Amino acid sequence: MDFLYVKALHIIFVVTWFAGLFYIIRLFIYHVEAEDKEEPAKEILQTQYKLMAKRLWYIITWPSAVLASIFAFWMLYKNPAYLSMPWMHIKLTFVAVLYIYHASCQKIYSQLQKDIIKYSSFKLRVWNEVATILLFAIVFLVTLKSAINWIWGLVGIILFGVLLMLAIRLYKRIRAHKNWDKEKKI
CA-based torsion, 105, 140, 63, 32: positive or negative: positive
Residue 147 has a pLDDT of: 52
Residue 149 has a pLDDT of: 63
CA–CA distance, 77 with 82 (Å, rounded to integer): 9
Instruction: Judge whether 23 and 56 are in contact, CB under 8 Å.
Output: yes
User: Is 177 annotated in some ligand binding site?
Assistant: no
Instruction: Judge whether 17 and 68 are in contact, CB under 8 Å.
Output: yes
Domains in the chain: boundaries: 3-185
DSSP string, 21-39: HHHHHHHHHHHHHHTTSPT
Q: Left (φ > 0), alpha (ψ -120 to 50) or beta: where does 2 sit?
A: beta
Q: Which of 112, 106, 110, 101 is nearest to 135 (CA)?
A: 101
pTM for the full predicted model: 0.81
User: Is 50 annotated in some ligand binding site?
Assistant: no
Residue 82 has a pLDDT of: 87
For residue 40, the 8-state DSSP code is T
- pLDDT, block means (10 residues), the chain with 186 residues: 92 97 97 94 95 97 98 94 87 94 97 95 90 87 70 72 81 76 62
Q: Which of 32, 39, 185 is nearest to 120 (CA)?
A: 32
Q: Which of 167, 39, 52, 186 is nearest to 112 (CA)?
A: 52
- CA triple 11-12-14, angle to 5 deg: 60
